[in-house]
A and B are shown apart, each in its own frame.
Chain A
């Protein structure tokens, strides 16, 4: 499905050039959820942005390939890339309020996303948007459509973003830390939702996260990054039981133990 190899990206400023990621390679097979993990600054986001062509102006992909549905995303023309983005590849950004235009109604934003790729009548658009919103469990979809981003809760806003990303039924979904900006209580719901949208069929997911627990629960494969390099990758089951690279071992060791397993804690914490 998505096959990345030798991906190298640099950032240029007047005084120096920084290599943010080097020789990144991994596969996202059809129908598989792949977790891309690493600490802050390890190059996860740069990797995803390079693939999507969303680097800031100082960033430049200097080498490698990212093959998707027979095209190399890194070498594709603007037109080719635009026809794949949004239509074949859905993108869920980190902060839903950032990703939604503050002064367009949600319905208008559906219209923009749909009409970027095909013509649609107003009535059909409304039906489609309603159906998409309901599929991500947004209650009162009609009112949400009329409303604006600032009227939504974080969880609701991210649902809308997911619905927008799914409008064209993409075969690959790239989610860049989709729950980092959200309240912990809704993180799980959002992840379950993404999981449900992926489940069944050949749809793949590239999930960027720094949370190994999330990877263990929602992904079948994992790619571990550290300071711009892939240090380990493989099936989740293998890597969690027998991590080879010392960095992966440290990451796994850093997952906090479940506190309520300890009887001492239970006694100390008053039950409200």
Chain B
């Protein structure tokens, strides 16, 4: 070990310089989250104003107003209260399920192969249709949106983590762990799991981006919406008819918000990937 071993913490600025993707992606996301919960909004997002309906963007209503006289800007910001935490919770649940099922399945037993084939069959369904059906059948509440995200992304995590763990299991250091008398559960969670943290971080950002699309799609279809609370998906839906009449602002701005959220998550994922690969 050399005397010049780098100080792992480094300074904050060094981190920013070395990881612009992580900083920009996570920063934008944090800004959207904080804004959704704490930013002072120019208008109340859930109080209709019948006197000011369908105003185009102006100095007062910078994103305009919709057919109920809601201020679009306030609603776009406030929608983050619902969409972002739901996406993050759905991602976290998918990740935990992926770890709990994917890691133990990394043994090459016949049982685990069977499970993977069953998962193949399950994934061959158009999952977004499946999840809409499930949500429609089980009732229109928020938890069901989380289930929908997990149905779509849980199998992806399981597959990814199992694949990675299989490769790691062949490593000599796992053999050494076996030779040290470690129990299978210890090997899985203490020796293998730390090695999949990297890819889990990358996949989690991508999953969160996907979750935002799923939420928007479900909300667009009217699933999991409780009017007048704003969501990006339901706002796009509400404004969709107006586009042909030239009232573009009602649908475009929530669309832009969805784009920014997804783009920042993808930038974050890319940044983590680069850091992991030591680029």
Question: Hey, which bits of chain A sit against chain B, CB under 8 A?
Answer: 52-54, 57, 82-87, 91, 93, 95, 98-104, 112-113, 115-117, 140, 143-144, 147, 151-152, 156, 161, 164
Contact = CB atoms under 8 A, between A and B. Distances in A.
Contact of A117 (B177, B178, B181): B181
A53 B184 CA distance: 14
Contacts of B1: 140, 143-144, 147, 151-152, 156
A100 B194 CA distance: 13
A190 B180 CA distance: 20
Given A86-B180, A87-B181, A164-B176, 6 more contacts: A54-B175, A83-B181, A99-B175, A112-B180, A112-B190, A156-B1
A152 B1 CA distance: 5
A52 B186 CA distance: 18
What size tier do the contact residues of chain B reach?
20 to 34
Contact of A91 (B179, B182, B194): B179
B274 interface: no
Given A91-B176, A156-B1, A116 B194 contact: no
B108 interface: yes
A99 B5 contact: no
A189 to B, nearest CB: 17
Contacts of B108: 57
A147 B191 contact: no
A116 B5 contact: no
B9 interface: no
Contacts of B176: 91, 93, 98-100, 161, 164
Given A82-B182, A86-B182, A113-B180, A151 B5 contact: yes
A93 B175 contact: yes
A54 B178 contact: yes
B117 interface: no
Interface string B151-175: 0000000000000000000011101
Given A116-B181, A117-B181, A147-B1, A101 B195 contact: yes
A52 B179 contact: yes
A8 to B, nearest CB: 22
A116 B180 contact: yes
A82 B181 contact: yes
Nearest to B173: A101
A53 B171 CA distance: 16
Contact of A98 (B2, B172, B190, B195): B172
A54 B180 CA distance: 11
A217 B61 CA distance: 89
Contacts, number: 78
A91 B180 CA distance: 7
Interface of B: 1-2, 5, 108, 171-173, 175-183, 186, 190-191, 194-195
Contact of B191 (A83, A101, A143): A101
A104 B194 contact: yes
A100 B186 contact: no
A95 B181 CA distance: 19
A57 B178 CA distance: 14
Contact of B173 (A53, A100, A117): A100
A101 B187 CA distance: 11
A116 B173 contact: no
Nearest to A147: B1
A86 B179 contact: yes
A87 B180 CA distance: 7
B109 to A, nearest CB: 9
26 contacts: A53-B178, A54-B175, A54-B179, A82-B183, A85-B178, A85-B179, A85-B181, A86-B181, A93-B172, A93-B179, A98-B176, A101-B177, A102-B195, A103-B194, A112-B182, A112-B186, A112-B191, A113-B180, A116-B181, A116-B182, A116-B183, A117-B181, A147-B1, A152-B1, A161-B176, A164-B176
From B108, B175, B179, residue with most partner A Cβ within 10 Å: B179
Contacts of A117: 181
Contacts of A104: 191, 194
Contacts of A143: 1, 5
A117 B177 CA distance: 12
A93 B176 CA distance: 7
Contacts of A161: 176
Given A82-B182, A91-B180, A101-B195, A147 B5 contact: yes
Nearest to B8: A146
B169 to A, nearest CB: 11
A151 to B, nearest CB: 5
A103 B168 CA distance: 12
A84 B182 CA distance: 10
